[in-house]
Amino acid sequence: MIWTRREWMRRVGLGVASLALPRLASGSARARRKPNIVFVMLDDAGIGDFGCYGQKKIRTPVMDRMAAEGMRFSQCYTGSPVCGPCRCILMTGLHSGHCTRRGNRAKANPPGAGKDRGLVPLRTEDRTVAALLKKAGYVTGGFGKWGLGNAGTTGSPDKHGFDDFFGYLDQVHAHDYYTTWLWRNGKRVALKGNESGGKKQYSHDVIAEAAMGFIRANKDKPLFLYLPYTLPHGKYVVPDDAPYSKEPWPQQHRNYAAMITRADRDVGRVLGLLKELGLDEDTIVFYTSDNGPNPPFLKTFDSAAGLRGTKRSLYEGGIRMPMVVRWPGKVPAGVVSDFAWTFADFLPTAAEIAGARAPEGLDGMSVLPTLLGKPQKPHESLYWEFHSPFHQAVRIGRLKGVRFGTKMPLELYDLKADPAEKSNVAASHPDVVRRMEALLKTARSDTPYWPALPTRRAGKPKRARKRPKAAGT
């Protein structure tokens, strides 16, 4: 058959187009795919425990590399200085004056609590980031410590948007690293290597491996992966204290350091798998800790980075967290940001990343503009409360107020000039004190489980004996 020039060109053109169509379609599908969202949270590691925040003894190469490849925040805050309410705030976008769970144990026993006395679970009506993302087309997985409702309660993770959850439901159970069982989607899973006193299955390792399996199984779908690792929370038990075995520290301190490095290693494994599967550029990863460190590690490691307070305190050492965010090609690399935000901001941020609508009435706001290197209006104020003992904190700009009990005088600190909160400047700013005292009354809702007490109770958090130079602000 003899073709005319026009026919030949037409057929060649169709052939070239047919070769290009699959590539164009694939590229279009990739462009339309919602970004994966990974949120990694260690348990009880302080802001000073990571190399990119000044740590000299504990090795955290993965967080340090993420900070170089992404954005490191100097003023990111948890929602609460202990694990239960911190997780509630992260999941719901409500701060500790509004969220359902405001302490690890309530002052009053919730109806139907039974053996879970004092453990207030999420309510059926509580809206979580997992449920929002699931509705937006994400497959959702949680691996680690839940702490917001045991099996059979309204707060179990399967009732709040998680397609797959594996780990601990109860925060006390999470103290046992060689437990004989864990929870998976409402069912007990035996760790047979730990039966009859055996210690062959370290729970963190089992959980970390399950998370890797979740990524592999859902590599072709947009995924939300929540990794609330249990390390380095006590009990301070680890299979191997390397690379610190020869350090002249107490054994507890060697174990603590090894637990942080082990968790950091597993964050690196997640990043490596994302790259192996071609998902690296499609995934935003948040890496942080849940609350400030415990006092034993201040001297050896400067775990609070010179900030006042530790876990269970609303001074900066108890609530200012390490936070690095990495998203190749989207989040600017090597940037240190002093934008102040809290875990309550995660839900609206994740919603914007996913192209979903966040619920009305949240305390948090999306910080995606900041993550993308764009200017953003700061919060008008940030609020915290804690109940063991009852105290409140509020931040407006560079000034932060702390008050123990509703009738006690407000302490005021200039965080830019005094990040370690050594000098109470309340007398110099009576107008700010009055404004903050008004906020302390209106920023919270009443609840029988978490009453606002009029006077400070015993147990006021103590200052660290030494306050080395504070982390940069």
Instruction: Name all domains of the chain by residue range, CATH numbers in brackets.
Output: 33-377 (3.40.720.10)
Per residue in 357-378, pLDDT (tens digit) is 999 999 999 999 999 999 999 9
Closest by CA to 253, choosing from 43, 469, 466, 57, is 57
**Distance of alpha carbon 441 from alpha carbon 342, whole angstroms:** 20
CA angle 297, 303, 308 (to 5 degrees): 105
Q: What is the percent of the chain where pLDDT is above 70?
A: 89
The answer to whether residue 149 scores a pLDDT higher than 80 is yes
**Distance of alpha carbon 218 from alpha carbon 143, whole angstroms:** 15
Quick one: pLDDT at residue 365?
98
**Distance of alpha carbon 266 from alpha carbon 60, whole angstroms:** 11
Please say whether the beta carbons of 81 and 291 come within 8 A: yes
Alpha helices (H) along 98-147: 129-135
**What kind and span of H or E run contains 297?**
none
- Burial label, 234 (beta-carbon count in 10 A; 0-12, 13-18, 19+): middle
Quick one: pLDDT at residue 457?
52
The residue ranking higher by pLDDT, 1 or 364, is: 364
Per residue in 339-352, pLDDT (tens digit) is 999 999 999 999 99
The residue ranking higher by pLDDT, 335 or 2, is: 335
Per residue in 411-462, pLDDT (tens digit) is 999 999 999 999 999 999 999 999 999 999 999 999 999 999 997 654 444 4
The answer to whether residue 8 scores a pLDDT higher than 50 is no
**Distance of alpha carbon 121 from alpha carbon 87, whole angstroms:** 11
The answer to whether residue 467 scores a pLDDT higher than 60 is no
Q: C-alpha dihedral over 77, 82, 85, 88, to 10 degrees?
A: 60
For 219-361, list the strands marked E by DSSP. Answer: 223-227, 283-289, 320-326, 335-337, 341-342
User: How far apart, in Å, are the Cα atoms of 8 and each of 12, 17, 368?
Assistant: 6, 14, 52
Please say whether the beta carbons of 288 and 320 come within 8 A: no
